[in-house]
Structure 1
Amino acid sequence: MKSNKKELSPEQNEGLLGVLKVRYEKHMNRHKNLEWANVQAKLVANTEKLWTINEMEVTGGEPDVVGYDTKTDEYIFYDCSAESPKGRRSVCYDRKALESRKEFKPANTAIDMAASIGIELLTEEQYRDLQKLGNFDNKTSSWIMTPSVIRNLGGAIFADYRYDTVFVYHNGAESYYAARGFRGSVRV
């Protein structure tokens, strides 16, 4: 009988922690005043969240710690790949949008994929904060959490970075493009 527990093998844990540590050391500007040993201890203690971060990695997100919430004692990870994660592109916004398409349906949705790996789409505020840590989505775009008032009217929002500026746009939620994916966050 196969277990539904979201857990990595000891070898996978070690490999992922090694990748995360190298990324952490390479991009110190993303996590000033945070100690790797503390981040690693949280990850090791929470195997399901480590599994989620591995899924972020496997789908091309290059997750990195970008903050610490003192109120909840949680480290915050965002997808920090230069472009929208390759393994999460060509998706429409959500299930309702997918079901509304008559033909040429994409394989999945941003909301469903995020839920399946245990992350949440970045909000507009989080996306703007991410852009303060580097330049992301110079050639791609990323779906971001859409306010219900916009989604109820059939739209969804996405963002990218061009001309030294974060642009937030709208599109029909059922649309999908090879250069549009989504970025997510997880707390550990």
Structure 2
Amino acid sequence: ARKIEDLSKQRDKLPITRYDCNGVLKIAIVINSKTADIQLYHDLIHDRPERISVNQEIRNFIGDRLHQTPAEIFSQLEINNPNLTQKQCHYWWTILIKKQYQKDLDQLKSNKTNALNFELYAVIGQIDGAGFAAAYLFLDNAKKDEGVRTEILTAFLTNLKKLGLQFINYFLTDKDWSQINAAKIVWSNCKIQLCLWHAKK
């Protein structure tokens, strides 16, 4: 295809400056001794490639459009910011959107709740490559059999469905039958997938 002649409408990104430095990086790994021999050759010292930072104006632009996906925001920004990358846009979208749901810098952990026979269940969704916590459930697991846990988890997931989680295509979980059965009851058409790490245990 022919390139458009109007330079103002061309969206080519400026190429990185290259130098005739004959730079070579060699890495030899020795399995038996668990060591690596690293050799770096460079014939001349040159400037480091310039990395274009994301200014405050672009950050504000992203922050005002958090209801859109990073790809949609990037398509609007790249017209006037040819050096901006999609990864930069996605990074700042992830950072800025955290402020809408992160209430505290301390992450919620369950490592001290097991002494009280509590289990922590978390529902995590994925949107455009980023994970978001939708809900948490602390469950007093003392003397509760699988049927009781399934009933409680079913009620928990049913409330999430009523709040808008209507169409779930995949449900990733461990080998806990209470979770699997509850998910199939609430979202009968979803595909249950097991976590590879748990499956290997």
Range of TM-score over shorter length: under 0.3
Highest relative contact order (Cα 8 Å, sep 6+), 1 or 2? Answer: 1
Which structure has the larger Rg over C-alpha atoms?
2
TM score, norm. by length of structure 1: 0.26
TM score, norm. by length of structure 2: 0.25
